């Protein structure tokens, strides 16, 4: 049985990856940040009581800003594969919390790499490492972007991801470690955080449909993204670590759409005219925007045999259907006098 360790296991991708690895027979260990409220909701479908002899999912408290915790977990778990997905992953927030973002995203990656380097040297074990790189690293570079496109980061988040990317390349070359950088374009799902634009739109339009809110405030509707499905993208992460040679890969669909086009599709699924409910709020604009991301996934297709399965329209429909169901449940609760979910959604 192979053992995997995932940083960021409680996030969108972490939950899909943990599911995928469990389905492949892995023992899965995840690092969870301590919080005053439960932050493991996305793992509910796969949660197992660790006391059960059959349990294969284990969670450990740790933090990418705390190197000692990372080293301790590594010694204890002795993983065959590490997936470094933990991050302050919101681009807009990174302009307000630049130092924190760099500490988690750039230095946090360096902390894990340093721990892995020592672990491999002392125990003479092979550990394969996946680094969650981002299409944001391309920033202002002209589309389409591929593995050979020069990075031009446009936010503290993107600059930190570029640093993490080069740390990873250097540790591969300097210390002979098996490290892959996945350069993933935007990928979404019904588990996407509610402050990213796709989920913000599907959540709000579904609530508008159910009469739970009347307005949706957004920023720049003209930005274009190459949006895929998170469930497909975690498979690419796994495939990279199964290949005989460590390398870097772009993971994308090869199609891009604007935020406006996403709105069109989502509103059509609900039979809503979004023009009457969407308003602009400058707080959602970025000081430096990334206008157009469009990936060339040719290398991942040729070398790994990877291709996205869910289309853009299917993705939008899946997210809308999920959020309409949530809104219906919320409407039922609201009728019974419960208004607990409104605050979280209004400020998303
Ligand atoms: P996400 O939903 O925001 O999840 C981020 C994860 O990192 C969460 O588990 C979060 O914990 C954890 N985390 C945050 N700060 C941490 C810290 N200091 N120490 C340890 N863990 C910490 O992000 P995602 O969409 O799953 O993305 C996964 C990774 O891929 C991230 O590195 C992201 O930057 C990168 N990426 C994402 C996309 C995309 O479109 N989704 C594209 C390219 C790259 P909490 O749950 O406690 O907050
Ligand atoms: N979040 C948000 N909220 N974005 C908005 C809004 C809004 O109200 N209105 C317009 N947008 C625009 C943003 O300006 C951006 O151009 C686009 O929608 C997508 O924004 P996000 O969904 O926040 O994603 P992102 O592209 O900035 O970053 C995501 O993808 C990266 C990969 O390219 C994140 O998941 C990053 O972690 C990831 O690396």
The answer to whether residues 90 and 215 belong to one domain is no
User: Is residue 306, in this structure, part of any structural domain at all?
Assistant: no
Distance 196 CA to ligand 2 centre (A): 6
User: Is residue 303, in this structure, part of any structural domain at all?
Assistant: no
Q: Residue 347: what pLDDT?
A: 39
Q: pLDDT, tens digit, for every residue of 24-79?
A: 999 999 999 999 999 999 999 999 898 999 999 999 999 999 999 999 999 999 99
Residue 345 has pLDDT above 60, yes or no: no
- Give mean pLDDT, residues 122-148: 98
- Give mean pLDDT, residues 4-25: 98
The answer to whether residues 211 and 85 belong to one domain is no
The answer to whether residues 173 and 209 belong to one domain is no
- Give mean pLDDT, residues 277-284: 97
The answer to whether residues 70 and 185 belong to one domain is yes
Q: Where are the beta strands (DSSP E) in 92-203?
A: 128-134, 178-184, 187-188
The answer to whether residues 115 and 203 belong to one domain is no
Residue 346 has pLDDT above 80, yes or no: no
Tokens of 180: 């892959």
The answer to whether residues 13 and 140 belong to one domain is yes
* Active site (annotated) includes residue 136: yes
Q: Residue 339: what pLDDT?
A: 64
The answer to whether residues 205 and 339 belong to one domain is yes
Give just the sign of the alpha carbon dihedral 210, 212, 215, 221: negative
- Give mean pLDDT, residues 104-126: 97
258 lines ligand 2 (CB under 6 A): no
Residue 84 has pLDDT above 70, yes or no: yes
User: Is residue 300, in this structure, part of any structural domain at all?
Assistant: no
Q: Whose CA is nearest to atom 20 of ligand 1?
A: 63
Distance 319 CA to ligand 1 centre (A): 19
Q: Residue 348: what pLDDT?
A: 37
Residue 343 has pLDDT above 90, yes or no: no
Pocket of ligand 1 from Cβ distances under 6 Å = 7-8, 10-14, 31, 33, 35, 39, 63-65, 85-89, 104, 132, 134, 184, 186-187, 193
Q: What percent of the chain has pLDDT over 90?
A: 95
Q: How confident is the model at residue 340 (pLDDT cuts 50, 70, 90)?
A: low
Which of 13, 67, 196, 226 to probe ligand 1 with, by most ligand atoms within 8 A of CB?
Answer: 13
* Active site (annotated) includes residue 134: yes
| Residue 162 structural domain | 3-190+227-251
Entry pTM = 0.97
Distance 214 CA to ligand 1 centre (A): 30
Q: pLDDT, tens digit, for every residue of 302-322?
A: 999 999 999 999 999 999 999
The answer to whether residues 236 and 159 belong to one domain is yes
Rounded Cα distance, 43 and 117, in Å? 29
Instruction: Count CB neighbours of 98 within 10 A.
Output: 16
The answer to whether residues 21 and 112 belong to one domain is yes
Q: Whose CA is nearest to atom 10 of ligand 1?
A: 8
The answer to whether residues 139 and 283 belong to one domain is no
Write down the mean pLDDT value for the chain: 96
Q: Residue 338: what pLDDT?
A: 74
Distance 91 CA to ligand 2 centre (A): 7
Give the number of the ligand closest to the Cα of residue 111.
Answer: 1
Q: How confident is the model at residue 344 (pLDDT cuts 50, 70, 90)?
A: very low
Contact 63, 69 (CB under 8 A): yes
Q: pLDDT, tens digit, for every residue of 229-279?
A: 999 999 999 999 999 999 999 999 999 999 999 999 999 999 999 999 999
The total of structural domains in the chain comes to 2
H or E, element range at 116: helix 108-123
Q: pLDDT, tens digit, for every residue of 193-210?
A: 999 999 999 999 999 999
The answer to whether residues 165 and 273 belong to one domain is no
CATH number of domain containing 332: 3.90.25.10
Tell me which of 66-70, 143-147, 333-337 is least confident: 333-337
Rounded Cα distance, 206 and 239, in Å? 35
Q: How far is CA 55 from the centre of its chain?
A: 25
Rounded Cα distance, 197 and 216, in Å? 11
Give the number of the ligand closest to the Cα of residue 220.
Answer: 2
Distance 192 CA to ligand 1 centre (A): 10
């Amino acid at each position: 049985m192979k053992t995997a360790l995932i940083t960021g296991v409680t996030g969108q991708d972490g939950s899909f990856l943990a599911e995928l690895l469990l389905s492949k027979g892995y023992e899965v260990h995840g690092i969870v940040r301590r919080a005053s409220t439960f932050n493991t909701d996305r793992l509910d479908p796969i949660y197992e009581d660790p006391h059960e002899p059959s349990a294969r999912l284990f969670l450990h408290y740790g933090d990418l800003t705390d190197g000692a915790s990372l080293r301790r977990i590594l010694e204890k778990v002795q993983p065959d594969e590490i997936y470094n997905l933990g991050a302050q992953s919101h681009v807009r927030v990174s302009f307000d919390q630049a130092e924190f973002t760099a500490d988690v995203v750039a230095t946090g990656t360096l902390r894990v790499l340093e721990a892995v380097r020592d672990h491999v040297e002392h125990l003479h074990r092979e550990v394969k490492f996946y680094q969650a790189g981002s299409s944001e690293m391309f920033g202002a570079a002209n589309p389409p972007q591929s593995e050979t496109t020069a990075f031009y980061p446009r936010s503290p988040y993107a600059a930190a991801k570029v640093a993490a990317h080069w740390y990873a390349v250097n540790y591969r070359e300097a210390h002979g470690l098996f490290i892959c950088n996945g350069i993933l374009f935007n990928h979404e799902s019904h588990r996407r955080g509610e402050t990213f634009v796709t989920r913000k739109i599907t959540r709000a339009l579904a609530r508008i449909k159910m009469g739970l809110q009347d307005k949706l405030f957004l920023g720049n509707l003209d930005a274009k993204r190459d949006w895929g499905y998170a469930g497909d993208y975690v498979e690419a992460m796994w495939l990279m670590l199964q290949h005989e040679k460590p390398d870097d890969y772009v993971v994308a669909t090869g199609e891009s759409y604007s935020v406006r086009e996403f709105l069109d599709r989502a509103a059509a699924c609900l039979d809503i005219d979004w023009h009457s409910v969407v308003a602009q709020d400058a707080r959602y604009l970025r000081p430096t925007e990334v206008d157009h991301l469009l990936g060339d996934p040719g290398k991942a297709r040729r070398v790994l045999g990877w291709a996205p399965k869910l289309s853009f329209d299917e993705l939008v429909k899946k997210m809308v259907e999920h959020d309409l169901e949530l809104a219906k449940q919320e409407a039922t609760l609201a009728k019974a006098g419960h208004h607990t979910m409104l605050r979280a959604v209004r400020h998303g």
